[in-house]
Amino acid sequence: MPKIKIISMSEGPLIPEKVRQGWVGVEFNANGPIETQTGAVTDPSENHGVRKVYVVPVVTALEALKKQNETAWRWFICAPIRTHDFLFPAENCEEIS
């Protein structure tokens, strides 16, 4: 399980830019990178809609975020999170160990 550092802000219209920016510099252990589908696949023989991500349990990610940026952490604590894991795009991450 590699340790990663978020090095750039990911895209996402549902989370305010300032909150997304709060992840930059956060470090934690993650699973991956793994390949996952980004949306509907119309032709399974094509490699469209696949991206590499790191998978981090929500609790682990939010504990690390709180240490780095409490304002962004508070936004997530108030958000209706309906998942057990966060997915961080590999292009926004750097393996540090």
Domain locations in the chain? 3-38+49-95
Retrieve residue 55's tokens: 């998978």
Q: Read off the pLDDT of each residue in 30-36 and give the average, rounded to a whole number.
A: 95
What average pLDDT is seen over the chain? 89
Burial state string for 12-22 with b = 16 or more CB within 10 A and e = fewer than 16: eeebeeebbbb
Q: By the 8 A CB rule, do 24 and 6 touch?
A: yes
Report whether pLDDT(11) > 90.
Answer: no
Percentage of the chain exceeding pLDDT 90: 70
59: left (phi over 0), alpha (psi -120 to 50) or beta: alpha
DSSP label at 10?
Answer: P
pLDDT above 80 for 43: no
Query: What is the torsional sign of CA 22, 13, 84, 8?
Result: negative
